Structure 1
Amino acid sequence: MTLLSVKGLSVSLGGRAVLQDVSLAVQKGEVVGLIGPNGAGKTTLMRAILGLLPHQGHSSLAQLPPRTRGRAAAWMPQSREIAWPVSVETLVTLGRTPHLTPGHRATAEDSAAVDRALERMGLAAFRHRIVTALSGGEQARVLMARALAQEAPLLMADEPIAGLDPAHQISTMRTFASLAAEDGTEGQTEGRAVIVSLHDLGLGVRHCTRLIVLDQGRIVADGAPTTVLTPALLRDTFGISAWFEATPKGPVFQPLEVLE
């Protein structure tokens, strides 16, 4: 099942071409890592896909009405500012907004979705704590739980593991993999996919089923991680060398040096 179709997407900002003729499709079961150097256009691509930026070309999500789009895709932007001192549970419940009829309270189904999201992110014990009193990393996990509570078929997250400690970086990437593998049991959405922008190439190799590499607003590679991150691509796109090995515990990828 195709959850996202993008064809010929281009974006210009301030008279400068930021994205040029990007086309891609995302199927259920995929964890797609969007990678590339700073300024490559990763955030712009994700925002244009969602219809949050003016663009040329086609995105199957951007053409949907807002409420329908909110049921089709959950979005976690880079910005993590939380302005109001509300409880963790209250903030996570906001993720159910696309499913609520205006003026009606959350149902038992909504509460169950919130419970699942809190459990996934290891936040069940934080339910009644005030979110603005939490650490930055904890707030990031709460915002991720809000996106998970939406239980949309497609989750899009822009650098969600930035600022998290190593254990929570790994557990978050594992959560993405489990979302993509869901079979619709326990009331959860059947057939999900995740698009996540990353700078940690090692985590991308281990946890993504597919990597899309952006450079200067264009896709320069798209495929399985072990076939995408070639020495030539690492040199030409990232300016680095790296060590890679397939081990009994999975693939291990470590950037080594900046190339002159």
Structure 2
Amino acid sequence: MNEKQRIWISLAILILLCASGGTAYAADPIPGVNIDIGTAEGGGGATTVSIILLLTILSLSPAILVLMTSFTRIVIVLGFVRTSLGTQQMPPNQVLIGLALFLTFFIMAPTLGDINQNALQPYLREEISQTDALERASASIKQFMFHHTREKDLQLFLEYTQAAPPSGVTDIPLTALVPAFAISELKTAFQMGFMIFIPFLVIDMIVASTLMAMGMMMLPPVMISLPFKILLFILVDGWYLVVRSLLLSYNA
């Protein structure tokens, strides 16, 4: 038997061993995992419902964060700053969103502290029910949103639902207050973004006019204006002014 025949015989034996091993492995049952939601011993049905509600709230938390806090205005204004500078992906999205999150927590700290003191802590001490805690928490967040919502926007949604005029802030339904607050934040953010665009637009116009007067038609004005815009933003301490304007806009 030569070397070539030995190699073919070895390969055939190896294939047979793999086939027999795979068959034996496939014959073994695969263990299954079942998850059942039911009533536990000791009246755990309420606990199960609470867990489901908690998971639902966690899944909706991004929408709650975006539409019921100052996050919308902050992230849009920071996006306008980057666009007006023309730096494309500098600062990157992770930096802008991280800064917007921390500014949101800073601005919302009084409201969150009020919710913690009047709703969460009494509920954890079992002094109030879950319904009372939700009502107290919604009252605090309603006060914040109502203070920064335009009357015209709120009236739009109240008239659409044909609801009776609310007697106070706590009587305003969240289904009307949240979208009214969102479009008010969008308008304010775009107004601030327009004011940010003006000085950088002037620089672009000056650079484009200068290049055209010098006969440099083929040179992109953006390449020349970008260093001047960055220099202007550094000289006036732009990030400080932008963040200061955002903070002051919520103290008005």
TM (normalized to structure 1)? 0.22
Which gives a bigger RCO, structure 1 or 2 (Cα 8 Å, sep 6+)? Answer: 1
Larger Rg, first or second structure (1 or 2): 2
Higher-strand-fraction structure = 1
Higher-helix-fraction structure = 2
